[in-house]
Amino acid sequence: MRARPAKARNASSQAGPPTKRRGSRQRSKSVSSRIFQHRSGDLPAFIEPCLATLVDKAPQGARWVHEIKLDGYRLQARLDHGAVKLMTRKGLDWTAKFPRVAEAAAKLPAETALLDGEVVSEDQNGIPRFSLLQQDLKTGHQGRIVLYLFDLLHLDGADLRGLPLYQRKAKLTRLLARSKGAIRLSETLSEPGPALLKQACRMGLEGIVSKLADAPYRSGRGHDWLKAKCSDRQELVVTGFVPSTADAHAVGALVLGFYQNQKLQYAGRVGTGFTHDIARSLYRTLKSWQRKSSPFSPVPAEERGRHGAIWVDPQMVVEVDFHGWTHGGRVRQASFQGVRTDKPPEDVVREVKQ
C-alpha cells in the first residue's frame, strides 16, 4: 500500500468538536472569533499564514487533532471567479510555477475561496520529498506535484477565520469532495500525538503538525499549531562556500548561519547532500555574490586560515537536515536538502524546541 502523506493507519479522518472533560476549563470565545465569524466582504488579496511552533514532543489530549507534516512549500490558493493565484507564505506569486495545480484550483465548486496548504512532490511510495520538488521546479515536470490543502480561510464572501478549526476543516472537506489529482485534502488524524509521530517517522515522513480543534485561524507564529519532527531540520543562510577538491567549479561545502537579534550567527558547514550538478549550480550562483570580508563579526575560529571559506553576500536560504546542535551552536552531521526561495534570509532564526 502506498504511504499517502495525508493518511495514517488506523486513524480517524473525521474530527469533530473537542470533547469536554470534567473539571477542565473551556476557553471563552476569542476576540478574533467575535470579529471574524461569518463576516462577509471582499476576498482578501492575501492573509498572513498561521505558523506552527516547534516542540520536542507531540501533544495529546481531546482538544488536539493532527496532520502529517508535509515536506514542500507553503502555498495559499486564491480563487476569484475562476481566476487562480498561488502565493507563498510571504505573498509572492508562484502561479506560473504550478500550472497543473492552478488548473485544478480553478475547477473547485466555489465562486471565491482562500485556501491554505502545502505543495509537494511525491515519490513512488507517496512520500513527499523536498528534493524531488526542487527537481520538478527546475525541469518543469508537473506530474507528481500535489497541493495538499489543510485550511479554508474564506469561502464565497464569508470570512471563516473566526470559526473553530473543526468547522473550517468540515467545510474544506465538502469543498474538496470531488477533487482528485493535483489538489487533495490533508486529512485530520485523531490518533494520540506521540503514537502518530512514531508512525510517521517509521514511514519516512518529516513529522506531524498538531492543532487545537477549537481554535480560530490566527496569523503568525503561535501555539494553536505545534510541529514535532522526526529529525532536526530547518532553513539556514549561506554565508560562504569551500570549493570541491574534485571540481574547482563546484562547491564542496557551504558555510551556514542564522539571525539572532538582527545579527548573523555562525552555524557551521554542510558538505553532503549535493549532486554534482547541484554543486556546480550552487558554485555559479554563489561565485557571483562573492565578497572580500566575512559577514560574521568576529570571523568564526573554524573559518580562519588558508583553508577558510570564500565569503558571499548572505542572500541564499537552504534547507538542511542534521542531527542536533553542538554545545558551540554548530549543526551536527548536516545534509543539504535544497534551496528555499520562499523565505528571505533575514527571517531565518534558530528554531528552538519548546
Burial 22-44 (b: 16+ CB within 10 A, else e): eeeeeeeebeebeebbeeeeebe
**CA proximity to 172, closest of 121, 97, 163, 192:** 163
Burial 324-352 (b: 16+ CB within 10 A, else e): eeeeeebbeebbbbbbbebbebeebeeee
- CA angle (92 as vertex; 87, 93 as ends), nearest 5: 60
Check 7, 29, 57, 69 and give the catalytic one. Answer: 69
Asked if the bond preceding 314 is cis, omega within 30° of 0, the reply is: no
Please count the other Cβ atoms lying within 10 Å of the Cβ belonging to residue 271.
Answer: 15
DSSP string computed for 185-253: E---B-S-HHHHHHHHHHTT--EEEEEETT-----EEEEEEEEEESSEEEEEEEEEEEE-SS-TTSEEE
Residue 69 falls in the annotated catalytic set: yes
H/E element, 34? helix 31-36
Distance, in Å, from the CA atom of 54 to the CA atom of 204, rounded to the nearest integer, reads 19
| β 73-80/112-121 pair status | antiparallel
Distance, in Å, from the CA atom of 320 to the CA atom of 237, rounded to the nearest integer, reads 10
* Measured CA distances, 237 to 61, 164, 258, 317, 337 (Å): 37, 36, 6, 5, 13
C-alpha cell at 191: 490518533
Distance, in Å, from the CA atom of 331 to the CA atom of 10, rounded to the nearest integer, reads 36
* Measured CA distances, 219 to 39, 215, 261, 296 (Å): 17, 12, 22, 32
The SS3 of residue 311 is strand
Task: Enumerate the active-site residues.
Answer: 69
